[in-house]
Amino acid sequence: MSYIMVDIEADGPIPGDYSMICFGAIVVEPSLSKTFYGQLKPISEKWIPDALAVSGFSREETLAFGDPQIVMRNFAAWVKTETVGRPMFIADNNGFDWGFINWYFHHFTGGNPFGHSSANLGSLYKGVVRNMFKSFKHLRQTRHTHNPVDDARGNAEALLTIKAEYDLKISLE
């Protein structure tokens, strides 16, 4: 099984009504060399300026981004090429990130290569350290910049550290 750490940026709180602007993914393995980055043209006229500002892009810039159907097909092909066995989606905030990725996959490609499951890095860490008040974020090496590849990389680094420091039983092929 391959774990794919994903981070997304959006211009609002929910998929469909609002748009996923960009996302990054990285295969969680020691080299952290297998990455994907997608920028997607908005699918809705609705957007929240403060939400979009997090991404660092203007509305005008996003209107020139790629066709969501093509970007999602390319991402599905990348997932298939870069993973061994069943891919597992994992994110810092999988409730948000998974919602957008899952919706976009189903809407634009007819299916999700991750299936119906995802994992939450924060919850995993809380379980490993047996404390619901602890955060894994101090384990990131790459600065959290809201560039989704940087953020996915930092989260992948944290997962690798959790595996090493806490002897987490996880297969990262």
The ranges assigned to domains in the chain are 2-166
Distance between CA atoms of residues 90 and 156, nearest Å:
9
Architecture label for domain 2-166: 2-Layer Sandwich (3.30)
CB 40 within 8 A of CB 29: no
Tell me, what's the pLDDT at 56? 96
Tell me, what's the pLDDT at 173? 64
Tell me, what's the pLDDT at 171? 85
* Poorest-pLDDT segment among 31-35, 83-87, 100-104: 83-87
Distance between CA atoms of residues 17 and 8, nearest Å:
16
Residue 172 reports pLDDT greater than 90: no
Tell me, what's the pLDDT at 45? 97
Read off the pLDDT band of 111 (50, 70, 90). very high
CB proximity list for 171: less than 8 A, separation 6 or greater = 1
Q: What is the pLDDT of residues 31-81, one digit of tens each?
A: 999 999 999 999 999 999 999 999 999 999 999 999 999 999 999 999 999
Tell me, what's the pLDDT at 6? 98
Look at the block and give the residue holding tokens 């209107």: 63
Catalytic annotation, pick one of 107, 138, 144, 146: 146
Tell me, what's the pLDDT at 119? 97
Active-site residue flag, 106: no
Q: What is the pLDDT of residues 118-156, one digit of tens each?
A: 999 999 999 999 999 999 999 999 999 999 999 999 999
- For residue 8, give the 3-state DSSP assignment: strand
Distance between CA atoms of residues 95 and 103, nearest Å:
12
